[in-house]
Amino acid sequence: MNPVFNRFSIPAFLVFFLMSLVSAVPSGTAKPAEPVVRVLVIENQKDLRFTVGGRFKITPLPVSGRGAQTFRKAIGVSVAPSPLGLGIGGKDWVTRGVRLEPDEDNDLWLNASRFRGALDIWKDKNGFLYAINRVPLEEYLYGVLHHEVAPWWPMEALKAQAVAARTYARYQMSVSAAAEFDLKSTTSSQVYGGSTTERYRTKKAVDDTASEVLTYGGKIFPAYFHATCAGMTAGAAELWKIDLAPVAGGVVCDYCQISPHYYWHAKIPLSEIEEAFRANGRPLGQILGIEIVTQTPSHRAGSLRVTGTTQSALVAVKDFRVWMGGDRIRSAFFTVRTHSDAAEFSGKGWGHGVGLCQWGALGQALFGKNYKDILKFYYPGSEITSLRS
Ligand SMILES: [Zn+2]
């Protein structure tokens, strides 16, 4: 069914077309002075809908200064791939991408999420749509923090998370200049839900630490974080090619014992594990046994040998977690027993274990530590630097 515009039952595409005829007013969009982060918020879609509560501009991409049009508002307007480029509200735009840019203070909704800043919508080479939110860094952090920590946590824990998330984002921005976007909006980067999910206390934690980042030797580094380390943080080098003191791991953390994620247990049918190996190009036949063959310096499982009826395979635990799902194999801190029909994993902690332990930060804040103490504990050797100075 077509969306409607205001309270009148007029098809949105028609209203949208009429709006374009009265759009000769120059846009007064204010450009933020602070750095803008580019976040991939949607991918692989055949149809999107957007709503803007006030005046906004559509600019064909890449920006050339030509072809921009200003509109008064739009409600539930569809965007879909078309033979010429993009169909927006039923009108063809001969371009592979457009930028939707509301005037200041006008809400921009894409599907069910509200976003600050601007949105670029692109058609990929397979004809699917993806969207990149271009948002000032501090406003991006408003939309991240609530997903990473609970707004009711002590303010010092929230502030520690704000500085870690800002540092991580700044690092990603510094290494992704040639890429189309800096970050994804999922756990592969840090979880971001647009401005729909902002909360007062997490927003305050961002404001209270505005522009503060962690540095090591004067440089911003990837300040990884995770939910619960369960006793000791892991080294970044256990997972990636990163060898820096603040994320070298081995920090003994007793503060996350209050975490509800401290222990986990997963019983997975062997048939599912067999299928995962087959799907990843490593067919083993029927699985007979699974054993841990190497341990990491932080005493996590480093690699597994999986023995099947046709062959056996060595697999890195970080890959195995991705194959089976990080919500099931919640950490590399586990033991495993193989039964006739299932493998039983008993583990501790949640996440990769590198850098700041979120539940440990909560525990430390409850013990009266401030956010600077917490950050220096989890990122040894780091400094807190203001980008304003
Ligand atoms: Zn911990």
The 10s digit of each residue's pLDDT in 191-234 is 777 776 668 899 999 999 999 999 999 999 999 999 999 999 99
Given 82, 100, 127, the domain boundary residue is 127
In a domain, 228, yes or no: no
In a domain, 312, yes or no: yes
Tell me: do 105 and 205 sit in the same domain: no
Given 127, 150, 176, the domain boundary residue is 127
Report CA-CA distances (Å) from 161 to 20, 142, 189, 226, 237: 44, 12, 14, 10, 22
Tell me: do 168 and 116 sit in the same domain: no
Write down the pLDDT at residue 112.
Answer: 86
Write down the pLDDT at residue 107.
Answer: 81
Write down the pLDDT at residue 33.
Answer: 66
In a domain, 174, yes or no: yes
Phi-psi region of 319 (alpha: psi -120 to 50; beta: other; left: phi over 0): alpha
Determine contact, residues 88/58, Cβ cutoff 8 Å.
Answer: yes
Pairwise CA distance, residues 205 & 200, whole Å: 9
Q: How far is the CA of 345 from the centre of ligand 1 (A)?
A: 20
In a domain, 289, yes or no: yes
Tell me: do 295 and 149 sit in the same domain: no
Q: How far is the CA of 6 from the centre of ligand 1 (A)?
A: 51
Q: How far is the CA of 233 from the centre of ligand 1 (A)?
A: 7
The model scores a pTM over 0.75: yes
Write down the pLDDT at residue 5.
Answer: 27
Q: How far is the CA of 104 from the centre of ligand 1 (A)?
A: 41
Tell me: do 77 and 108 sit in the same domain: yes
Write down the pLDDT at residue 38.
Answer: 94
Tell me: do 196 and 97 sit in the same domain: no
In a domain, 255, yes or no: no
Tell me: do 146 and 165 sit in the same domain: yes
Write down the pLDDT at residue 177.
Answer: 84
- The DSSP-derived string for 37-55 is EEEEEEEEES-EEEEESS-
Write down the pLDDT at residue 188.
Answer: 65
Tell me: do 123 and 219 sit in the same domain: no
In a domain, 242, yes or no: no
Beta bridge partners of 51: 109
Describe the strand order of the beta sheet including 118-123 as a list of residue ranges: 69-71, 56-61, 97-102, 118-123, 129-136, 36-45, 183-184
Q: Burial-class residue 298 by CB neighbours within 10 Å (0-12, 13-18, 19+).
A: buried
Tell me: do 208 and 122 sit in the same domain: no
Tell me: do 55 and 14 sit in the same domain: yes
Question: At residue 87, what are phi and psi to the nearest 5 degrees?
Answer: -95, 115
Q: How far is the CA of 357 from the centre of ligand 1 (A)?
A: 5
pLDDT digits (tens, 9 = 90+) for 320-357: 999 999 999 999 999 999 999 999 999 999 999 999 99
Q: How far is the CA of 256 from the centre of ligand 1 (A)?
A: 4
Q: How far is the CA of 297 from the centre of ligand 1 (A)?
A: 16
Q: How far is the CA of 266 from the centre of ligand 1 (A)?
A: 21
Number of domains comprising the chain: 3
Tell me: do 100 and 21 sit in the same domain: yes
**Of residues 31, 189, 196, the one with CA closest to residue 118:** 31
Q: How far is the CA of 378 from the centre of ligand 1 (A)?
A: 9
Q: How far is the CA of 267 from the centre of ligand 1 (A)?
A: 25
**Type of residue found at 326:** G
- List the chain residues with pLDDT less than 50: 1-32
Tell me which residue range forms the domain holding 72.
Answer: 4-30+47-127
| Count of residues making up the chain | 389
Pairwise CA distance, residues 11 & 129, whole Å: 23
Q: How far is the CA of 364 from the centre of ligand 1 (A)?
A: 10
In a domain, 315, yes or no: yes
Q: How far is the CA of 37 from the centre of ligand 1 (A)?
A: 29
- Taken in order 373, 378, 382, 386, the sign of the CA dihedral is negative
In a domain, 64, yes or no: yes
Write down the pLDDT at residue 294.
Answer: 97
Which residue, chain included where needed, has tokens 């310096």?
297
Q: Where are the beta strands (DSSP E) in 94-153?
A: 97-102, 108-110, 113-115, 118-123, 129-136
Write down the pLDDT at residue 387.
Answer: 87
Tell me: do 18 and 114 sit in the same domain: yes
Tell me: do 123 and 142 sit in the same domain: no
Given 127, 156, 176, the domain boundary residue is 127
